[in-house]
Amino acid sequence: MNFTFTEEQLMIKQTAKEFAESEIAPSTVERDIKGEFPYDIVKKLGELGFMGMMVSPEWGGAGLDTISYVLAMEEISKVDASVGVIMSVNNSLVCWGLEEYGTPEQKEKYLKPLAQGKMLGAFALSEPEAGSDATNQHTIAEKDGDYWILNGTKNWITNGTTADVYLVMAQTNRQLRHKGISAFIVEKDFPGFERGKKEDKLGIRSSDTCSLMFSNCRVPKENLLWEEGKGFNFAMNTLNGGRIGIAAQALGIAQASLEAAIKYSKERKAFGKPIAELQAIQFKLADMATKVEAARLLTLQAASLKDQQKDFAVQAAMAKLFASRVAMECADEAIQIHGGYGYVREYLVERYLRDAKITEIYEGTSEIQRIVIARNLIK
Ligand code: CAA
C-alpha cells in the first residue's frame, strides 16, 4: 500500500490543523466544562467544506476522498474530540447515507444543505432496548395514506438537540424482524417529534447527545430512504464508513496524548534531570508512539479500501477496535507521566481519557467490532 499523500490531501490536513489550533482550541476547555455546543465552529467547518467532505460537488460537497477525511478528522479531534464527532456523524452517517441511497429530490432538499453545513444531521438507530442488539428495534412506522406514522424512542443520539435532519430507523413490518426495518428522513419540526434533554456526559461534553421521542410523528412518504425493509442494511452499510471516522477521532486523541506526554516529560525534572531521560518514561513514550502509528496505518488502510470501492467493513472494524483502545491506553499513560498534574484540568490530558472512552462504545462497541471481525474469519 502506498501512503504517500497527495498535495491536496496534505493541504486538507494542514487546513484542518490550522483551523483546529486557531478557531477550536481557544474555547475547548470552557466548552468541555460547561457542556456547550460549538455552534460558531460548526458553521465555520461548513464554510470550509468539512461537513460534507466526501459528498460530490454536484450535491454541495467538497468531493474529497476518505483519506482526506481521516487526515482532517485526526487533526480536528486532536484538539477537540467533541467537534470531531459532530463532524463525523454529519459526514459519515448522514451525508454519506443520503448520497448513496437518497433520491435526487431528497439529495436536493437535504443533502445539499447538510453537505454545505447549512443544516446539521443526526443518525437514529439506538433505542432503550436496542444498543448493540440493533435489530431489536421497537420504534414502529405505520402507513397512513401519504404519510408514515412513527412511534417510539431513540437513545444516545449525537447532534440530538441541535440537528435539523434525522435519519431514523423504524420497524415497518415486525414479523420480518431486521428485514422489516426501514429508514426515514425526519425534520426537527415534524409534528409528533420531540427531543429529550441533553445528556450530562463523562467526555465529549461539548457535543450534544439526547433521546428522541416519536408520538404519532407524521413523516411524508417521500421521506422513506432507499426501500421499505432496507433500513437495517442502510444502517449497517453506513456505520461501516462511520467506524473509519471514529477510528480517526480516536487516533486524534491518542496523538494528542502522545504529544502532551513528550512535551511534559521534556519539561518536568525529577532526580536531577528531565524525566524524558529516564528509561521508565522513554519506554512509555516508545510504546505509545508505536501504537499510534499502528492505529494510523489501520485507519488509513480502511479509508484506502473504501476509496478503491473494495470491501472495507472488516478493516473499518479493526481500525476502530484498535484505535479506540490505543486512545484509552495513550491517554492513561499521558496522565501517568504527568503524575498529579495529569489529574487536573489545567494539563488537558484528563480530558483525553474522558473523551477516549466513548470511542470504545459508540458506532458499535469494541465487542461488536470483534463480532464483525470474527464472523468474517469463520464464515
Ligand atoms: N456491514 C454490512 N452489513 C452488516 C454488517 C456490516 N458490518 N453487520 C451486519 N450486517 C448485516 C448482515 O449481513 C445481515 O444482513 P442480511 O440479513 O440482509 O443478510 C444483517 O445485517 C443482520 O445481521 P446479523 O444476521 O448478523 O444480525 P445479528 O443481530 O446477529 O448481528 C450486529 C447484528 C452486527 C450485532 C448489529 O446489530 C450491529 O452492528 N450492532 C451494533 C450497532 C451499532 O453500531 N450501533 C451504533 C449506533 S449509531 C451511533 O453510535 C452514532 C452516533 O451517534 C455516534
170-224, pLDDT tens digit by residue?
999 999 999 999 999 999 999 999 999 999 999 999 999 999 999 999 999 999 9
Closest ligand 1 atom to Cα of 134: 37
Residue 191 has what pLDDT?
Answer: 97
Among 236, 249, 306, 377, residue to substitute to test ligand 1 (most atoms within 8 Å of Cβ): 236
Q: Closest residue (by CA) to atom 19 of ligand 1?
A: 233
- pLDDT above 90: percentage of residues in the chain: 99
| Catalytically active residues, by annotation | 363
| Domain layout of the chain by residue ranges | 7-119, 122-229, 233-378
Q: Closest residue (by CA) to atom 8 of ligand 1?
A: 236
Closest ligand 1 atom to Cα of 122: 53
Residue 237 has what pLDDT?
Answer: 98
CATH second-level architecture of 122-229? Beta Barrel (2.40)
Going from the Cα of 134 to the center of ligand 1, the distance in angstroms, rounded, reads: 7
Going from the Cα of 86 to the center of ligand 1, the distance in angstroms, rounded, reads: 22
Q: Closest residue (by CA) to atom 5 of ligand 1?
A: 236
The domain covering 7-119 belongs, at the CATH homologous superfamily level, to Acyl-CoA dehydrogenase/oxidase, N-terminal domain (1.10.540.10)
Going from the Cα of 331 to the center of ligand 1, the distance in angstroms, rounded, reads: 29
243-295, pLDDT tens digit by residue?
999 999 999 999 999 999 999 999 999 999 999 999 999 999 999 999 999 99
Residue 228 has what pLDDT?
Answer: 98
Q: Mean pLDDT across the stretch 27-37?
A: 98
Top CATH class of 233-378 equals: mainly alpha
Indicate if the pLDDT at residue 46 is higher than 80: yes
Q: Closest residue (by CA) to atom 15 of ligand 1?
A: 233
- AA letter at 211: S
Closest ligand 1 atom to Cα of 133: 37
Q: Mean pLDDT across the stretch 345-351?
A: 94
How far apart CA 167 and CA 108 sit, in angstroms, is 16
Going from the Cα of 16 to the center of ligand 1, the distance in angstroms, rounded, reads: 31
Q: Closest residue (by CA) to atom 37 of ligand 1?
A: 134
134-143, pLDDT tens digit by residue?
999 999 999 9
Residue 3 has what pLDDT?
Answer: 74
How far apart CA 178 and CA 62 sit, in angstroms, is 34
Residue 359 has what pLDDT?
Answer: 98
Residue 63 has what pLDDT?
Answer: 98
Among 83, 85, 132, 178, residue to substitute to test ligand 1 (most atoms within 8 Å of Cβ): 178
Residue 314 has what pLDDT?
Answer: 98
Going from the Cα of 210 to the center of ligand 1, the distance in angstroms, rounded, reads: 22
Ligand 1 is surrounded, with C-beta below 6 A, by 89, 123, 125-126, 132, 134-135, 157-158, 178, 232-233, 236-237, 239-240, 313, 362-364, 368, 371-372
How far CA 119 is from CA of 10, 91, 94, 163, in Å, comes to: 27, 12, 11, 7
Beta bridge partners of 185: 167
**Please, what is the angle between helix 349-358 and helix 313-338, to 10°?**
150
Going from the Cα of 135 to the center of ligand 1, the distance in angstroms, rounded, reads: 7
pTM above 0.75, yes or no: yes
Mean pLDDT computed over every residue of the chain: 97
75-133, pLDDT tens digit by residue?
999 999 999 999 999 999 999 999 999 999 999 999 999 999 999 999 999 999 999 99
Sign of CA dihedral 358, 126, 51, 293: positive
357-372, pLDDT tens digit by residue?
999 999 999 999 999 9
Q: Mean pLDDT across the stretch 35-58?
A: 98
Closest ligand 1 atom to Cα of 158: 53
Among 85, 96, 120, 135, residue to substitute to test ligand 1 (most atoms within 8 Å of Cβ): 135
Going from the Cα of 236 to the center of ligand 1, the distance in angstroms, rounded, reads: 5
Residue 2 has what pLDDT?
Answer: 75
